[in-house]
Structure 1
Amino acid sequence: MKTLLLAGATGLVGRHALRLALADTRVERVVAPTRRPLPPHPKLLNPIEDFAHLPPHAPWWKVDGVVCALGTTMAKAGSRAAFEAVDYEMPLTVARLALRHGAQAFALNSALGANPDSRVFYSRVKGELEQSLRAMKNPGYLSLTFVRPGLIGGERAENRRAESLTILAVRLLTPFLPQRYRLVPAERIAHHLVEAALAATPGVTVLESEQLQ
């Protein structure tokens, strides 16, 4: 039986990951810090925290594995600095604190095209995060998994008009698109994240969008 930390439990992918983890008989407890309370569950520990000021010595950091589904958009963030705070700084803080308390596996919801040298800001930030996670030493994570979906399918809590129009277009064009660029259901992404955190396969594993279908 394992204990998992889930960062981003209220997002599209995170909600599915939470449901899957709570239903999994291999999971003894899910620690899901959020800004607002989640519905109670016997296996859920739900610290109410501000992710910009996470408590470094809280006992709930002691987990076996981490699923990180934190993320936003440039439109919602409002600036590059605010986007980096959510998509780079917060996940890296979670990774460092969980590692410090003994976590062995970290599964990240990254993005298609993640590359620290990309000219595309979004892809560059995702790539820089992956790079920073790989660079963690002394001793670093036994298992790192980067899940790189393209466009994510599912019902979001908030309305993202531009994204919704893109998803509609992708659905219409799906028969003509390479598998790499097809819509990936949020539940499939969540499944791979939870499985990776539980399996804790040694080394670095990268799951590209076409592997998530």
Structure 2
Amino acid sequence: MKLLLLGATGLVGSRTLKLALSSSAFSEVIAPTRKPLAPSNKLVNPLGSRLEELAPVLGSYKPHAVICALGTTQAKAGSKEAFHHVDYELPIAFGKAAHAAGVETFAIVTAIGASTESSFFYARTKGEVERDVREIGFRSLTICRPSLIGGERGEVRRAEGAALALARLLAPILPKKFHVNPADVIAAALLDAAIVAKPGCRWIYAEEMN
């Protein structure tokens, strides 16, 4: 099957890309990015300075499933508007384009605590993207809600690093839903969701990805 992967340069996305390229389940992985990825014989890497410009041409690649691992932080994005663009506008734009192109299977990473009723902008944005991607109409939709994500990043996030260290220290007494979720485990859950393509909408919660 052909897989469209969004967010291939991020922590979860890069692990998903590596696993997908090594899996016999996928004949081709289409991963649009702003900067070129390392070449691979199964990788198709459309480039664009603005990812949303690539959404309308998705149909020409004929993917069977989409995995969306797009995500940033407000600090990295620089503003609430920029964060909202990456974590809400891009997933919804690609989701609509993929559905219009006939894709029936979609999996997305949001976050623990995602809720449209949240007083926190981050969690509220995640809740809104969950709500609106459900309305697109995919036959199979999987929403992964990890807690803190563990793995080596290509960037320094001091606040997140401190939170990860604290979560690991307190792991013996913390509920499982607050344990660190390894990026590789999240990636494997996303790929399994794409392959199995269970009908309907289902959530995979943090405690299932330890």
Q: One-letter code of the match for 2:72? A: T
User: Relative to 1, partners in 2 of residues 1:180 and 1:58: Cα closer, same or farther, differing over 3 Å?
Assistant: closer
Partner in structure 2 of residue 120 of structure 1? 120
Alpha carbons 1:143, 1:201 under 8 Å: kept? yes
Partner in structure 2 of residue 24 of structure 1? 23
Q: Distance in 1 between matches of 2:161 and 2:207?
A: 21
Structure 1 gap segments, 5+ residues each:
none
Q: Distance in 2 between matches of 1:126 and 1:61?
A: 28
The two structures, once aligned, show a CA RMSD in angstroms of: 1.1
User: Are positions 1:162 and 2:175 aligned together?
Assistant: no
Q: Distance in 2 between matches of 1:63 and 1:31?
A: 8
1:63-212 correspondence runs (5 A): 63-136=63-136, 140-212=137-209
SS where residue 145 of structure 1 aligns? strand
Q: Distance in 2 between matches of 1:67 and 1:90?
A: 13
Between the aligned residues of both structures, percent identity stands at 47
SS where residue 17 of structure 2 aligns? helix
Q: Distance in 1 between matches of 2:89 and 2:72?
A: 12
Alpha carbons 2:58, 2:98 under 8 Å: kept? no
Structure 2 gap segments, 5+ residues each:
none
Q: Distance in 1 between matches of 2:177 and 2:86?
A: 26
**What's the TM-score once normalised by structure 2's chain length?**
0.96
Partner in structure 1 of residue 12 of structure 2? 13
Alpha carbons 1:153, 1:186 under 8 Å: kept? yes
User: Relative to 1, partners in 2 of residues 1:58 and 1:182: Cα closer, same or farther, differing over 3 Å?
Assistant: closer
Q: Distance in 2 between matches of 1:199 and 1:161?
A: 37
Alpha carbons 1:106, 1:144 under 8 Å: kept? yes
Q: Distance in 2 between matches of 1:81 and 1:94?
A: 18
Deviation at 1:58, TM superposition (A): 4.7
Q: Distance in 2 between matches of 1:143 and 1:59?
A: 18
Alpha carbons 1:61, 1:97 under 8 Å: kept? no
SS where residue 34 of structure 1 aligns? coil
Q: Distance in 2 between matches of 1:87 and 1:127?
A: 11
Deviation at 1:144, TM superposition (A): 0.4
User: Relative to 1, partners in 2 of residues 1:194 and 1:58: Cα closer, same or farther, differing over 3 Å?
Assistant: closer
Q: Distance in 1 between matches of 2:38 and 2:182?
A: 23
